[in-house]
Chain A
Amino acid sequence: MRNPKIKILEGIYVAKMKIDILKHTLVPHHEILSAEEVEKLLKAYKIKKEDLPQILVTDPVVKAIGAKEGDVIKIIRRSPTAGESVAYRLVVRKEII
Chain B
Amino acid sequence: MLTKSKKVIDKIRFGLLSPDAIRKMSATRIITPDTYDEDGFPIEMGLMDPRLGVIEPGLRCKTCGQKVKECPGHFGHIELAMPVIHVGFAKTIYNILKATCRGCGKLLLTDDEVKKLREDYKRVVKMKNNTAAFAKEVVKRASKVTKCPHCGREVLPVELDKPTTYREGGRKLTPAEIREWLEKVSEALGDDLRLLDINPEVARPEWMVLTVLPVPPVTTRPSITLETGERSEDDLTHKLVDIIRINQRLQENRDAGAPQLIVEDLWDLLQYHVTTYFDNQTSGIPPARHRSGRALKTLAQRLKGKEGRFRSNLSGKRVNFSARTVISPDPNISINEVGVPIEIARELTVPIRVTQYNIEEMKELVKRGPDPKLPPGIVYLPGVNYVIRPDGRRIRVTPENAENVAERLEVGSIVERQLQDGDIVLFNRQPSLHRMSMMAHHAKILPYKTFRLNLAVCPPYNADFDGDEMNLHVLQSEEARAEAEILMKVQEHILSPRFGGAIIGAIHDHITGCFLLTYGNKVFSKEDAMDILAAAGYRGEVKDKMTGKEIFSKILPPDLNLEYKAKLCTGNEEECKKQDAYVIIKNGQLLQGVIDEASIGAFKGKIIEYIARKKGMKEAREFIDRVTKLGIAAITKIGFTTGIDDEDIPEEAQMQIEEVLENARKKIQDLIRAYKEGELEQIPGRSLEETLEMEIMRVTGKARDQTGEIASRHLGLDNSAVIMARSGARGSMLNLSQMAGAVGQQAVRGERIHRGYHGRTLPHFKKGDLGAEAKGFVSSSYKKGLSPTEYFFHSMGGREGLVDTAVRTSRSGYMQRRLINALENIKLEEDGTVRQTTGEIIQFMYGEDGIDPTRSIRGKAIDADLIIKEVKKE
Closest to A92 in B: B127
- Closest CB-CB distance, B194 to chain A, in whole Å? 14
Residue of A nearest to B844 (CB): A87
Comparing A11-19, A29-37, A50-58, A60-68, the segment that makes contact with chain B is A50-58
Is the Cβ of B844 less than 8 Å from the Cβ of A88? yes
Task: Answer whether A96 and B128 are a contact pair too, CB < 8 Å, given A53-B842, A81-B849, A81-B860.
Answer: no
* Tally of A interface residues using CB under 8 Å: 19
Chain B residues with Cβ under 8 A from A47's Cβ? 839, 841
In the complex, chain A residues whose CB is within 8 Å of the CB of B120: 95-96
Q: How far is it, in angstroms, between the C-alpha of A93 and the C-alpha of B134 when the chains are bound? A: 13
Given contacts A79-B849, A81-B848, A96-B120, contact A45 B841 (CB under 8 A): yes
Do A45 and B133 have beta carbons less than 8 Å apart?
Answer: no
A-B Cβ contacts below 8 A, count: 59
Give the Cβ gap from B13 to chain A, nearest Cβ, in Å.
23
**CB under 8 Å from chain A, chain B span 127-170:** 127-130, 133-134, 137-138, 141
Given the known interface contacts A79-B849, A82-B849, the answer about A95 and B134 at a Cβ–Cβ threshold of 8 Å is: yes
How far, in Å, is B529 (CB) from chain A's closest CB?
A: 46
Shortest B848–chain A CB gap in Å is 4
Q: Is B824 an interface residue (CB 8 A)?
A: no
B821 to chain A, nearest CB (A): 21
B826-869 vs A: 1/0 string, CB under 8 Å? 00000101010001111111011111000000011100000000
Q: Give the distance to chain A from B100, nearest Cβ to Cβ, in Å.
A: 18
Say yes or no for B117: interface residue by CB 8 A criterion. Answer: yes
List residues of chain A with CB within 8 A of the CB of B860.
81
State whether A95 touches B137 (Cβ < 8 A): yes
- B135: nearest residue on chain A (CB-CB)? A95
Give, as a whole number of angstroms, the nearest-CB distance from B243 to chain A. 41
The answer to whether residues A52 and B851 also contact, given A95-B133, A96-B137 and a CB cut-off of 8 A, is no
Contact between A51 and B839 (Cβ–Cβ < 8 Å)? yes
Closest A residue by C-beta to B126:
A50
Across the interface, do A82 and B850 meet the contact criterion of CB distance under 8 Å?
yes
Query: Are B833 and A45 closer than 8 Å at their CB atoms?
Result: yes
Q: 8 Å CB contacts to B: which residues of A64-97?
A: 77, 79, 81-82, 85-88, 92-93, 95-96
B residues near A81, Cβ cutoff 8 Å: 847-849, 851, 859-861
Q: How far is the CA of A95 from the CA of B123 in the complex (A)?
A: 8
Indicate if the CB atoms of B133 and A52 lie closer than 8 Å.
no
A52 vs B844: C-alpha distance when bound (angstroms):
9
Point out the residues of chain B lying under 8 angstroms from A50, CB to CB: 126-128, 840
Identity of the chain B residue whose Cβ is nearest the Cβ of A94 in the assembled complex: B137
A-contacting residues of B (Cβ < 8 Å)? 117, 120, 123-124, 126-130, 133-134, 137-138, 141, 831, 833, 835, 839-845, 847-851, 859-861
Q: List 15 A-B contacts (CB under 8 A).
A: A45-B833, A51-B839, A81-B849, A82-B848, A82-B849, A85-B845, A87-B843, A88-B844, A92-B127, A93-B123, A95-B129, A95-B134, A95-B137, A96-B137, A96-B138
Can you list the 4 inter-chain pairs with the closest CB atoms, starting with the nearest? Answer: A82-B849, A85-B848, A81-B849, A51-B840
A sample of 18 more A-B contacts (CB under 8 A), given A45-B841, A81-B849, A85-B848, is A45-B833, A45-B844, A50-B126, A51-B839, A51-B840, A51-B841, A52-B841, A53-B840, A54-B127, A79-B849, A81-B861, A82-B850, A85-B845, A85-B849, A92-B127, A95-B124, A95-B130, A96-B141
